[in-house]
Structure 1
Amino acid sequence: MSPTTDGRPHKLPFVVLVLSAGTFLMGTTEFVIAGLLPEIADDLNVSVSHAGLLITAFAAGMIVGAPAMAIATLRLPRRSTLILALVVFALGHLVAALSSSFALVLVARVVTALATGTFWCVGALVATTAAGPAATSRALGMLLGGLTVANVVGVPLGAWLGQLSGWRGPFWVLAALSAGAAAVIGRYVPADERREAPSVRAEFAALRDVRVWLTLSSMTLLMGGVLATYTYISPLLTERAGLPNGAVPMVLTGYGLGALLGTTVGGRLGDRRPLATLITSAATTTLVLVLLTLLSPSPVAAVVLVMLMGMTGFAATPVLGALALRFSSSAPTLVSGLSGSAPNVGIAIGSWTAGIALTSPLGRAGPPLVGTVAAALTLVPLTALALMRATRSDTSAPQPGTASDQAIGCGTQDVDIG
């Protein structure tokens, strides 16, 4: 989307929608495995807890692989990198679908995670470049919307298909769809137009900006808080709120719809007032999690608060991603990769801590309490960002109207948090 002169937002470029379809496939493969673990364990002759390593391996692959692959593919044309990532993604699913060895399936999951991290960090750059500085958050919101729709639609369909055809069925379908997506990417993603050869040294130099680390830590804390709660939401709904097991999928669908609404609204607001949007999101998420901890014995309150948790928590994600890219200036590839790793670090630590809390005297109220603390701590780096913005001297700040000011999105009206 190009900046407008009349103040009205224009539609995002079609390429952003194409890339969002790719993130839908990535999100589906990351989360669908949870619904297939019993079938995989039986077929590959391992325990369910052992099969759960397939989830851990994918998360580890994303944490390490996203920044590593961002540097490894730095000098490749972005369109070629996206196509290569989808081809590797398809091959990883084919290997898993054909294998009778748990170890080989595990390796395939790691390779698939590497491809996912590569697609995300490069796709985010292509989408935001196509959308323009005035719509960076909206473009990232669209990409994150693909992940959210995967939770609402792709994961339930994949689990249903796995019940009908065995766990290998969804893997075959994902392999075919990703191969088709590679062809579409090749057709609609424009050729790389970077004027200067990318520099690995410049990519690492971008990490010297403390604002990048404040933004990444905000991602880790906020997503860690929300997903720590979400990981153990089923026992909270059934054992604490007293809902029947059959109602849980409907509640989780509401959570997914709330997250989709959050990324959409957050992306739109974040392009105009990023810091205000972020602080509001973190504060309201903290409040929602406090209320969920206290009021979850009420079924109605629990259902409403779970949906609100998705909406308020995910409203910040496109804005944080946009700020990370803007603060990285002209070397955003590594930061984009770290933006893919940071939430997964939060998810890993948050879910582990929530598991400990679940077995403590806190019981079912433990995970949302852990989430509350993490969400509240998000306000620390966000407040630091706001104070840095407020105390920047006129001589060090970009002059209004300059290219740097537009790229960072820190004009007075853009980030006024008053």
Structure 2
Amino acid sequence: MNQQPASATNSGSRLTLLVLALGVFGVGVTEFVPVGLLPQIAAEFQVSIPAAGWVVSSYAAGVLVGAPLMTLLGVRVPRKKMLVLLMVIFTVGNLLTAFAPSFGLLLGGRVLTSFTHGAFFGIGPVVAAELAGPERRSKAVAVMFSGIALANLAGVPLGTWLGHELGWRATFIAVSVLGAIMIAALATLIPHLPTPAGVRLRHEVTALGNPQVLLALLMTLLGFGGVFAALTYLTPIMTEVTGFGESAMTPILIVLGVGMFIGNWFGGKMADKALMPTVVGSLAALVVALFAFTFTSHQPVLAVINVFLLGALGMATVPPLQTLVLQRASAAPTLASAINIGAFNMGNALAAWLAGSTISAGLGLESAGWVGALMTLTALVLAFVSVALMRREARNASTASAVDANTGAAPQLADASRA
């Protein structure tokens, strides 16, 4: 008998999830750490701070383009092989960023690195859900995405500190080293998972046309995006509206990170028990927290509590929304999962722009709270639309089954009467 004991299988599955979470951690640090290093980058390449901001925005643009592109290119590649290849590209991109002799090559390194983001975040949850099984898929996705919370809680502050101490290039060298470790870990610890038979590009693209898949993607874009309306302008809100000094931002960001970590765990746990109720409940609670932030931002203690709630409730939506997309696009989940990651990034960009517009219009920094609340409220409405469609589909299926049953019964009754 070659069958492994269940305990060994579960142990291997947990180790695989931790490896995937570490990969997400590295990708999360790479995405956000340049924010704290922009002054150094601008000074070295003699560009303005807004121009240096392209180090961040070029990455976001690369995620939007790279997520579907890399996923489609790798749709017929075994998932383990694709994850290793993505981490190789990730490491090369960070090395190019670390040793870039010009600002143009620096941006090139950032774009190259970003191309791995959406595909890794898209394929990883599929692998995690497959290894965990249907009863624990949301929890498995939550374990993987805990890497994001840890990146914000520890990775980004540590990377920023390292950049300030040893120069910004040292931070990207450190991330490159992490990438090399991940290549070895993925190659060694991820089991062989061949691409399911019958996977075709047409099937992957067609799955996106499912109304339920589109609704799930829009819920992601607007629901989690609403959080970033507030978080994008968190520093000026805390310093100019609440009255904290800039030195207080580090502990405030730690509070945010703790909230994200707890919310990610809780969202994954609850989604496995009741997926749509978790989606609806987390979005509804997030709407309240975002509206409240408009008022609590004027009181220091309440503002910090609200920041924790924004992190917790925002991340609580991630595992159920990602699982919802996997469920709705079950016939071809890989592209839909990657597109969902693009939806997260697009929502972040849209939220930042909308909140920036209200602030520029003179409505105040605190207007970012109700802008985010309105975005998430729209996602909540779409969740109710999705539930209504599901119920209608269930009724139609029940009616069709009843008609088929009655149709099949008629000839049998006629035969019985003749007998």
Would you identify which runs of 4 or more consecutive aligned residues in structure 1 move more than 3 Å?
A: 9-12
> 1:13–1:130: 8 Å Cα contact kept in structure 2?
no
Q: Which runs of 5+ in 1 are unaligned?
A: 1-8, 398-418
Counterpart CA distance in 2 for 1:123 and 1:192 is 12
Counterpart CA distance in 2 for 1:239 and 1:27 is 28
Where do 1:269-308 residues align within 5 Å?
269-308=270-309
**Cα pair distance change 1:394/1:12, threshold 3 Å:** farther
Q: Which residue of 2 is the match for residue 201 of structure 1?
A: 202
The superposition leaves residues 77-127 of structure 1 with CA deviations (integer Å, 9 ceiling, x where unpaired) of 111111111111111111111112101110110110001222111112111
Q: Which residue of 2 is the match for residue 126 of structure 1?
A: 127
Counterpart CA distance in 1 for 2:241 and 2:65 is 36
How big is the shift at 1:147? Answer: 0.8
Q: Which residue of 1 is the match for residue 246 of structure 2?
A: 245
The one-letter code of the counterpart of 1:284 is: A
Counterpart CA distance in 2 for 1:117 and 1:296 is 33
Q: Which residue of 2 is the match for residue 349 of structure 1?
A: 350
Q: Which residue of 2 is the match for residue 375 of structure 1?
A: 376
Q: Which residue of 1 is the match for residue 43 of structure 2?
A: 42
Q: Alignment partner of 1:100: what SS?
A: coil
Where do 1:151-300 residues align within 5 Å?
151-300=152-301
Q: Which residue of 2 is the match for residue 403 of structure 1?
A: none
How big is the shift at 1:13? Answer: 2.8
The superposition leaves residues 44-69 of structure 1 with CA deviations (integer Å, 9 ceiling, x where unpaired) of 11111101011111111111211111
Counterpart CA distance in 2 for 1:279 and 1:101 is 48
What number of residue pairs does the alignment pair up? Answer: 391
Q: Which residue of 1 is the match for residue 415 of structure 2?
A: none
Are 1:18 and 2:34 matched, yes or no? no
> 1:12–1:139: 8 Å Cα contact kept in structure 2?
no
The one-letter code of the counterpart of 1:254 is: V
The one-letter code of the counterpart of 1:145 is: S
> 1:32–1:158: 8 Å Cα contact kept in structure 2?
yes
Counterpart CA distance in 2 for 1:102 and 1:208 is 40
How big is the shift at 1:174? Answer: 0.6
The superposition leaves residues 349-388 of structure 1 with CA deviations (integer Å, 9 ceiling, x where unpaired) of 1101111122222111121121111111111110011112
Q: Which residue of 2 is the match for residue 387 of structure 1?
A: 388
Q: Alignment partner of 2:136: what SS?
A: helix
**Cα pair distance change 1:384/1:123, threshold 3 Å:** same
Greater share of helix: 2
The superposition leaves residues 133-163 of structure 1 with CA deviations (integer Å, 9 ceiling, x where unpaired) of 1111111111211011000000000000000
> 2:287–2:376: 8 Å Cα contact kept in structure 1?
yes
Q: Which residue of 1 is the match for residue 82 of structure 2?
A: 81
How big is the shift at 1:271? Answer: 1.1
Q: Which residue of 1 is the match for residue 55 of structure 2?
A: 54
The one-letter code of the counterpart of 1:88 is: I
Larger radius of gyration: 2
Counterpart CA distance in 2 for 1:31 and 1:69 is 21
Q: Alignment partner of 2:273: what SS?
A: coil
Counterpart CA distance in 1 for 2:314 and 2:85 is 32
**Cα pair distance change 1:194/1:361, threshold 3 Å:** closer
> 2:223–2:380: 8 Å Cα contact kept in structure 1?
no
Counterpart CA distance in 1 for 2:82 and 2:109 is 19
Which shows bigger deviation, 224-233 or 351-360?
Answer: 351-360
The superposition leaves residues 191-223 of structure 1 with CA deviations (integer Å, 9 ceiling, x where unpaired) of 123451421111112122111011100000012
The superposition leaves residues 26-48 of structure 1 with CA deviations (integer Å, 9 ceiling, x where unpaired) of 00000001000000111111111
